[in-house]
Structure 1
Amino acid sequence: MLNRRLLRIKVMQSLYSYHQAVGADLLLAQDRIAAAFEPDLTAKEAPDRRLLEGQRKLGEAQLREWYKTGVQPEKTDDKAVDAALTDAIGYFEAQVKKDAAFFGGQLLAGAESIHDQYLHLLNLPAALLGVIEEEQSREERRRLGPREDALDANRLHQNAAIAKLMANEQLQDLTIRRKLAWEGAEEVEALRAAWQEMKADGPLREYLAAKPTDAPELDYDADMEILRTLYKDYVFKGEALPRQLESDDLNWEENRPIVRNLVLKTLKMLPHAADEKQELMNLSANWADDREFAETLYKQTLVEDDKMEKLIAGSVQNWDVERVALLDKIILKMALTEMQLFRGIPVKVTINEYIEISKLYSTPKSKQFVNGILDKLAQDLAASGDIRKSGRGLLDNQ
């Protein structure tokens, strides 16, 4: 299931993308000032290029100063410069607001897409059977009958575990509503390549060669075991399918353990006695709470950005805060926001989580840096009353 660490990572990624976009927005705002003072080559009188260049430089300098300090620039003696600056600032603020909303939406969509990936993969066996049937038909047409040495995949077509999965009413409903069937040309081609990998697999060949017994439950166990093997060895490992899944989703490597866990747990929930009404796995134990956690952490980290920047600057000795890596600053700001905002999460839990995230995503030295800054600031904020914990948040909070 989806856990809070992965949610924190997705918040971090969205914040990083947002800050990258803000940098681009500033350049675009600067371009608007430059465009305002481009020489008009169609004018009757020759433009004063030196004047225009001076106006452009003044406008751009004031924009950068405003961005750095947040202080509204004073009016100049040049109305054209003031107008261009007002336009650029208005444009920048509007774009930043759009970016904040966009990346916040992407954060939630990215998390929720994990559940779609899970459902999509539950549809894979049905699509695989279609690929196998297509291959068999093609071979028969080409040779006017089946090859004597052809692999007999009939037992896979009769696999009761696959049939039970395909008959699940919830899966059928969600597949239609969310369009999660395996239908794309690239997906089908990946399935064809994966089937070639599977055919060389010893356990699969043994399964296909074995005859069913007179004990339905034993046969079902064998059917389920080969289905688990196909998922483990050719979907979450292997070559063709992992490559396709990664090309479809840049975050596949990150999401893969969660999706794998959901798929394999679902197979455990489908014993021989299960019927078509068996409920599938949810994204998390309480997605409403987890969604609110991620959304609130993202929004509040943006709201508190300036405040957290000053806190970090005050705790970084002999080091210009602007030289701190952007990702490290985001990690620190998220952790500080979480400490103060979520009273039910112990401080030590927050610190440990962000240390682990820094180890995964930032520089080799980030672990010690993040640990040192958070440990110091946590003590300062607790002493000032800015960190107040309750309930579970009081655990290990001495």
Structure 2
Amino acid sequence: MLNRRHIRIKVMQTIYAFKGGEGDNFKAEQTFLLRSLDNMFNLYLLLLSLLIELQKRSADHLAKTQKKHLATSEDKNPNSKFINNEVLLQLKNNVLLQETLQDEKITNWELDNEYVDVIFKALLSSDLYKEYMQTRTSDFKEDKNFIVDVFKEIIAPNDKLYDYLQDQNLTWTDDLPVVNTAILKIIRKLKPSSPEKHLLPELYKDDDDRAFALDLFKKTILNQNKLNQAISEKTKNWDADRIADIDNVLLQMAICELTNFPSIPVKVTINEYLEIAKEYSTPKSSIFINGILDKLVREYEEADKLNKTGRGLM
């Protein structure tokens, strides 16, 4: 679920917030980094559980409708297609998922159920829902496509839900696009025969990704003086105050990655940090960073300092 670019972003944010120097203890920042990464999984669980809550909310709504004092024939025999949606039932009846929600104490919607109501009302008023409910039966494929569309068109873009998630955890703002993409991917691949584990993906692709996050953070912090010197030598015509703090952090990380991670291709490193700069820094930052890194790479190649291993890594 967690990709290398997002790992770099998390490391960037942690280093940016770090106020110490090479010799200072950065255990608290390292703990913050790991917690920030791990909290992505809780965001995933929270949004997945929202789908379950919508199913429960719909079931309660139908039950109340049937008990109306002046219930119509339609009220007494409501269309239960949504609450019987096979994907929603698969989520609701997934024992492993339910146990994980309990273990991680994902109880937000019990405490803040007004946000479930917000999404439920948006669902009921949508053309997507009205079209889906025109019939009373469906197959797994239709049910799955509908839930994908509900998540993509109603849940993911909801401003009130976004504000709520931001209030719950500030780092979730940056995590949301990655988590939303992961949920859509997992639901699209869901089958009636899928094992329960399918709905609980690993946060890291492998152990190397977690190690990469820690190594990149520690090696950047522990070599800040050396990295800053390399930046300074290539920005002699620049006033230090004109270099954005984020740009300086990105340059530190990029140079650290170029010189300390032999298995990562040079082009991958440069492209990743240019894309992060476009998203998180000034409009001209990517051009500035590209110019500095290009000079350094040529210099390192001439001095044989890149030490890249494997074919095609230059």
TM-score, normalization by structure 2: 0.89
CA deviations on 1:21-62 (whole Å, 9 max, x unpaired) are x4xxxxxxxxxxxxxxxxxxxxxxxxxxxxxxxxxxxxxxxx
For the pair 1:195 / 2:120, whether they are aligned, the reply is yes
CA distance change for structure 1 residues 292 and 223 in 2, over 3 Å: closer, same or farther? same
Task: Tell me the CA shift for residue 8 of structure 1.
Answer: 0.8
Q: Distance between the aligned counterparts of 2:208 and 2:16, measured in 1?
A: 23
Aligned to 1:387: 306
Aligned to 2:14: 14
AA matched with 1:154: S
Q: Distance between the aligned counterparts of 1:296 and 1:159, measured in 2?
A: 45
CA deviations on 1:332-361 (whole Å, 9 max, x unpaired) are 111110001100112222122112211111
CA distance change for structure 1 residues 355 and 125 in 2, over 3 Å: closer, same or farther? closer
Asked whether the 8 Å contact 2:55–2:88 carries over to 1, the reply is no
Aligned to 1:172: 98
Asked whether the 8 Å contact 1:11–1:294 carries over to 2, the reply is yes
Aligned to 2:50: 124
CA distance change for structure 1 residues 294 and 248 in 2, over 3 Å: closer, same or farther? same
Asked whether the 8 Å contact 1:127–1:182 carries over to 2, the reply is no
AA matched with 1:4: R
Aligned to 1:326: 245
**Alignment equivalent of 2:40, drawn from 114, 126, 139:** 114
Q: Distance between the aligned counterparts of 1:352 and 1:117, measured in 2?
A: 28
Q: Distance between the aligned counterparts of 1:156 and 1:146, measured in 2?
A: 20
CA distance change for structure 1 residues 230 and 353 in 2, over 3 Å: closer, same or farther? same
Where 2:82 maps in the other structure, the secondary structure is helix
Task: Tell me the CA shift for residue 132 of structure 1.
Answer: 2.9
CA deviations on 1:293-342 (whole Å, 9 max, x unpaired) are 11100011010001111111111132243542221111111111000110
CA deviations on 1:117-156 (whole Å, 9 max, x unpaired) are 1122222222113323444555667x53546776945222
Aligned to 1:237: 157
Aligned to 1:346: 265
Aligned to 1:73: none
Q: Distance between the aligned counterparts of 2:119 and 2:82, measured in 1?
A: 15
CA distance change for structure 1 residues 183 and 364 in 2, over 3 Å: closer, same or farther? closer
Task: Tell me the CA shift for residue 208 of structure 1.
Answer: 2.4
What is the aligned-residue identity percentage? Answer: 31
Asked whether the 8 Å contact 1:139–1:145 carries over to 2, the reply is no
Gaps of 5+ in 1: 23-66, 71-92, 213-217
Aligned to 2:220: 301
Asked whether the 8 Å contact 1:191–1:240 carries over to 2, the reply is no
AA matched with 1:238: N
Q: Distance between the aligned counterparts of 2:159 and 2:109, measured in 1?
A: 20
Alignment of 1:1-398 (within 5 A): 1-19=1-19, 22=20, 96-97=24-25, 100-136=26-62, 143-144=68-69, 146=71, 152=78, 154-186=80-112, 188-212=113-137, 219-274=139-194, 276=196, 278=198, 280-286=200-206, 288-321=207-240, 323-392=242-311, 394-395=312-313, 397=314
Q: Distance between the aligned counterparts of 1:246 and 1:153, measured in 2?
A: 36
Where 2:200 maps in the other structure, the secondary structure is coil
CA distance change for structure 1 residues 124 and 269 in 2, over 3 Å: closer, same or farther? same
Q: Distance between the aligned counterparts of 2:149 and 2:244, measured in 1?
A: 43
Q: Distance between the aligned counterparts of 1:318 and 1:250, measured in 2?
A: 37
Asked whether the 8 Å contact 1:160–1:220 carries over to 2, the reply is yes
Task: Tell me the CA shift for residue 200 of structure 1.
Answer: 0.9
Structure number with larger C-alpha Rg: 1
- Larger relative contact order (CA 8 Å, sep ≥ 6): 2
Q: Distance between the aligned counterparts of 1:203 and 1:323, measured in 2?
A: 50
CA distance change for structure 1 residues 278 and 319 in 2, over 3 Å: closer, same or farther? closer
Gaps of 5+ in 2: none
TM-score, normalization by structure 1: 0.71
Give the total of aligned pairs: 313
Aligned to 1:83: none
Q: Distance between the aligned counterparts of 1:200 and 1:335, measured in 2?
A: 48
Asked whether the 8 Å contact 1:234–1:241 carries over to 2, the reply is no
Task: Tell me the CA shift for residue 163 of structure 1.
Answer: 1.0
Task: Tell me the CA shift for residue 182 of structure 1.
Answer: 4.2
Asked whether the 8 Å contact 2:219–2:256 carries over to 1, the reply is yes
Asked whether the 8 Å contact 1:125–1:162 carries over to 2, the reply is yes
